[in-house]
Structure 1
Amino acid sequence: MHNLLINKLEQFTKLSPEDKQVLADVARGRVWVRGAREDIIQEGDKPTCVNLILKGWACRYKMLPDGRRQIIAFFVPGDLCDLHVFVLRAMDHSIGALTPITFAEISRETLRNIMSDHPRITEALWWDALVTVAIQREWTVNLGQRSAFERLGHLLCELFLRLRAVGLTQGNACEFPVTQTELADATGLTTVHVNRTLQELRGEGLIELHGKHLIIPDLEALETASVFNLNYLHGDHEGSALDARNGEIGSAGQRSRGA
């Protein structure tokens, strides 16, 4: 499980063996387990550490007083929940488990030491933080401008590519434990509308859903139908062609879509 964060960060910067060992040690540190629908941290709590998702899915969400929920982000294995959250006096949102999850707590002191002593990890974490903000922008566009068909298709493309980046896809398939209610909370749709739209995506031959298993027969076709452009995920950053100790080792050209 500890390799997932390494896989993710190496999209942005080539890490040295020492960097990788540090990240592996962090992932083996204070490890906790939560059940599905349990919170990792709640709005109003004082954050003291950064959480690294090792196994399972979680989400960032906000609750309204009448019980309505807006999911603001999905976390998949390899994701850090709120890299700089420990600077806050109190959480302004909650993070909850969607499935049974395993996560590691990274203390403020540990994170500061890593960023002080390992510049390549720091660079990769900067990029990861920028991608997190870019994803949030795309979700805003989803809610404000895309149709229901495009919203769901776009989200499925994004999640599939994020899973593929850390090695959690099998060809054109991946685990997909998100419920229709959770998709509705993330896309601003009703569960009825989500169900109808998923049926439409199936009918177009763009996706197959079998229980908690997603198959995308033709990713490029789904991207086109969903007005999806993968540039905001920044998986082809030129830092991926740099050596962690010796500088550039080759042309940084753009990576292929299947990389």
Structure 2
Amino acid sequence: MDNPLSLRIEAFTRLSREDKAALDRLAARAVREVAPRRDIIREGEPPRAVRLILEGWACRYKTLPDARRQIVSIFLPGDFCDLNVYILKEMDHNIGALTRVRFTEIGRDAMDALTSNYPRVTQALWWHELVSSAVQREWTLNVGQRTAIERIAHLFVELFLRLQTVGLTRRNSCEFPLTQNDIAEATGLTAVHVNRTLQQLRRDGLIMLERKELTIPDLDRLMDVSMFNPNYLHLDREGRYLDAND
């Protein structure tokens, strides 16, 4: 499998062989694995490294004292869990595995060396962080203004497009390990409401969801239903088409 970090970065810029080799070395450092539904790092713990997801799905979440949980981000292969997190004294949120997750931990020295020696990669990492911020804004809009069917349809489209970027879709299908509770926590709905909404999406022929696989028969139609504007993902970045040294 291609390095998901390189695939993700190439959504924003064209990489040279040297750039890709540097990213491969970065992704091979201190690889760790965590079981499904286990925390990778908890709120209050000191963050000593940047974490890069290599395989599996993870999430950023916050909890209330009564254990209610809100998922505020979903991490897919090729995603960093905060590029500059090591400047904080302690975590102000949790990062947990939704599936079995393989990730690498990258220390500050390694990140500084990468950004000092590979300017094209550095530029792409800035875009990565800007897109992460744009996704957060869209999630806020999703929870604040969209209807239940629009929220869930929008989440499905976004995750499908992000998986497509790193080569993890098969035509109009992709792995989809989220439970109804996960979807509820990511969209601000109850699990019962999510169940009813999924049934409606199925009845309308907008999705097929079974055995942890999502199929979207007509992506444009689902985008229309959710009022999805892909501009916040910035997948048509001009820089990705620029020539790089071979």
TM-score range with shorter-chain normalisation? over 0.9
Q: Which residue is 2:95 aligned to? A: 95
Q: CA deviation at 1:2?
A: 5.4
Q: Which residue is 2:129 aligned to? A: 129
Q: Which residue is 1:236 aligned to? A: 236
Letter in structure 2 aligned against 1:129:
E
Q: CA deviation at 1:210?
A: 1.3
Q: Secondary structure at the match of 2:110?
A: helix
Deviation digits for residues 127-154 of structure 1, max 9, x if unmatched?
0100000000000000100000000000
Q: Which residue is 1:202 aligned to? A: 202
Q: Which residue is 1:33 aligned to? A: 33
Q: Which residue is 2:63 aligned to? A: 63
Query: Within 1, Cα distance between the matches of 2:115 and 2:146?
Result: 38
Q: CA deviation at 1:244?
A: 3.1
Letter in structure 1 aligned against 2:244:
A
Query: Within 1, Cα distance between the matches of 2:36 and 2:241?
Result: 39
Letter in structure 2 aligned against 1:140:
T
Deviation digits for residues 12-52 of structure 1, max 9, x if unmatched?
11111001001111111100010011111100111111111
Deviation digits for residues 68-115 of structure 1, max 9, x if unmatched?
000000011111111111111111101000111110111111001100
Question: Structure 1 residue 114 and structure 2 residue 114: aligned?
Answer: yes
Q: Which residue is 1:14 aligned to? A: 14
Larger deviation: 161-170 or 21-30?
Answer: 21-30
Runs ≥4 in structure 1, deviation > 6 angstroms? none
Q: Which residue is 2:3 aligned to? A: 3
Q: Which residue is 1:48 aligned to? A: 48
Query: Within 2, Cα distance between the matches of 1:244 and 1:145?
Result: 42
Q: Which residue is 1:221 aligned to? A: 221
Assess if the C-alpha contact under 8 Å between 2:86 and 2:108 holds in 1.
yes
Assess if the C-alpha contact under 8 Å between 1:2 and 1:27 holds in 2.
no
**Runs of 5+ in structure 1 lacking a partner?**
247-259
Query: Within 1, Cα distance between the matches of 2:53 and 2:130?
Result: 18
Letter in structure 2 aligned against 1:50:
V
Assess if the C-alpha contact under 8 Å between 2:11 and 2:237 holds in 1.
yes
Q: Which residue is 2:83 aligned to? A: 83
Q: Percent identity?
A: 58
Q: Which residue is 2:152 aligned to? A: 152
Deviation digits for residues 222-256 of structure 1, max 9, x if unmatched?
0000110100000111111112349xxxxxxxxxx
Assess if the C-alpha contact under 8 Å between 1:2 and 1:28 holds in 2.
no
Q: Secondary structure at the match of 1:73?
A: strand
Assess if the C-alpha contact under 8 Å between 1:153 and 1:226 holds in 2.
yes
Assess if the C-alpha contact under 8 Å between 1:2 and 1:23 holds in 2.
no
Q: Which residue is 1:250 aligned to? A: none
Letter in structure 2 aligned against 1:61:
Y
Assess if the C-alpha contact under 8 Å between 1:207 and 1:214 holds in 2.
yes
Q: Which residue is 1:257 aligned to? A: none
Superposed counterparts of 1:156-167, under 5 Å: 156-167=156-167
Q: Secondary structure at the match of 2:177?
A: coil
Query: Within 2, Cα distance between the matches of 1:42 and 1:17?
Result: 37
Query: Within 1, Cα distance between the matches of 2:244 and 2:119?
Result: 9
Question: Structure 1 residue 191 and structure 2 residue 194: aligned?
Answer: no
Query: Within 1, Cα distance between the matches of 2:2 and 2:203?
Result: 38
Q: Secondary structure at the match of 1:13?
A: coil
Letter in structure 2 aligned against 1:207:
I
